[in-house]
């Protein structure tokens, strides 16, 4: 039985680490996701910049079933969102303010994260009924920016991507972020070049432990 949208949202927020995967090949995705799961990270966002991403989503979804939340990232149009959901994506992420993607995801019972950079874009995403606002790229903005926009817009459920690492996690959580998108600081270039899945599991454990520590 398929999980409800609300159940998926709960799992995305607990422990609240969403791995942003830009794999070098489709073949890396299943062992990579297995390594993340071994470290306690259940939410795996496979970006469309991964070669043959739709096939990778299909294979990962079939392999892990309910053990993992396999999602799709870097969605730029409705057609690709539909393809990814049909392949098994459990959540949909776009780096841009694309409100029309919300209806596609919600029609399939899947949560959606809409990208924003400015307060106006963030509010536009919220008014489009998105489940999360993805502040991207967050590395140049920082946690203080998110704290500042949430002061007048406290209803936003913010997930930053970019600039999230073990040192900055606390400041983002303190700023009111409900989950964190973590990419190259956890899934490093060296890990991908060498298929070092043991190191990835150790990295994932470190992020999950730190997140649980922060409460």
Active site residues: 45, 134
The three-point CA angle 17-21-23 to 5° equals 155
Nearest alpha-carbon partner for 107 in 69, 72, 78: 78
Nearest alpha-carbon partner for 178 in 18, 37, 7, 66: 18
Residue 61: how many other CB atoms lie within 10 Å? 20
d(CA 20, CA 150): 24
Burial class (CB in 10 A: 0-12, 13-18, 19+), 153: middle
Nearest alpha-carbon partner for 93 in 107, 76, 68, 69: 76
- Whether the ω angle into residue 15 lies within 30 degrees of 0, i.e. cis, is yes
d(CA 98, CA 51): 23
Q: How far, in whole angstroms, is CA 123 from its chain's centroid?
A: 20
């Amino acid at each position: 039985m398929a999980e409800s949208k609300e159940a998926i949202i709960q799992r995305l927020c607990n422990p609240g680490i969403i791995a942003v995967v830009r794999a070098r090949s489709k073949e890396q995705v299943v062992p990579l996701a297995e390594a993340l799961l071994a470290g306690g990270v259940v939410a795996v966002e496979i970006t469309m910049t991964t070669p043959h991403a739709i096939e990778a989503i299909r294979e990962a979804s079939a392999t892990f079933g309910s053990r993992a939340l396999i999602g799709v990232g870097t969605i730029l149009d409705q057609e690709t969102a539909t393809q990814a959901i049909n392949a098994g994506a459990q959540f949909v992420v776009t780096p841009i303010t694309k409100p029309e993607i919300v209806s596609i995801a919600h029609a399939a019972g899947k949560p959606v994260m809409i990208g924003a950079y400015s307060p106006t874009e963030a509010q536009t995403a919220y008014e489009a009924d998105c489940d999360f606002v993805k502040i991207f790229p967050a590395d140049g903005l920082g946690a203080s920016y998110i704290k500042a926009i949430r002061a007048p817009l406290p209803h936003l459920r913010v997930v930053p991507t970019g600039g999230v690492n073990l040192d900055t996690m606390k400041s983002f959580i303190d700023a009111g972020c409900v989950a964190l998108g973590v990419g190259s600081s956890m899934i490093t270039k060296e890990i991908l070049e060498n298929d070092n899945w043991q190191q990835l599991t150790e990295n994932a454990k470190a992020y999950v432990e730190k997140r649980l520590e922060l409460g």
